[in-house]
């Protein structure tokens, strides 16, 4: 296992969890519970989501249905007006992991 595939979770007391699918996305993640919006189609389409984990490099989000979520979109987090460009790096049912561009 190389260092780039190790994720450190502050919420887990600094324990290491390896996930090779996320190699290169390592950073400290914070467990959060924030509302968000997935914005795509030139701002004409939105999907409500909940952000469960957040770092400088990625976010873990949950949607009612991942079927309509495109591979690239912008993410609005909480009340912040700033949009974060994202790409989906993992899908698991209603849960998505996205990397910030």
> Residue 29 belongs to what H/E stretch?
none
Compute the average pLDDT of residues 4-11.
32
Q: Which residue has the higher pLDDT, 29 or 37?
A: 37
Q: Does domain 31-100 have CATH number 2.40.10.220?
A: yes
Angle at 97 between CA 52 and CA 71, to 5 degrees: 130
Domain chopping of the chain, boundaries: 31-100
- Kindly report the backbone phi and psi dihedral angles of residue 5, in degrees, each rounded to the nearest multiple of 5, phi listed first: -100, 10
Q: Across the strands, what pairs with 31? A: 53
Compute the average pLDDT of residues 65-93.
93
pLDDT at 78 over 50: yes
Structure tokens at 41: 């189609």
């Amino acid at each position: 296992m190389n260092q780039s595939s190790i994720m450190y979770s502050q919420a887990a007391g600094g324990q290491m969890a390896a996930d090779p699918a996320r190699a290169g996305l390592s950073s400290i993640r914070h467990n959060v519970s924030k509302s968000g919006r997935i914005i795509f189609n030139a701002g004409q389409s939105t999907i409500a989501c909940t952000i469960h984990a957040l770092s400088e490099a990625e976010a873990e989000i949950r949607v009612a249905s991942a079927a309509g979520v495109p591979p690239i979109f912008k993410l609005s987090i909480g009340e912040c007006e700033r949009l974060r460009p994202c790409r989906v790096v993992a899908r698991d049912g209603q849960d998505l992991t996205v990397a910030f561009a």
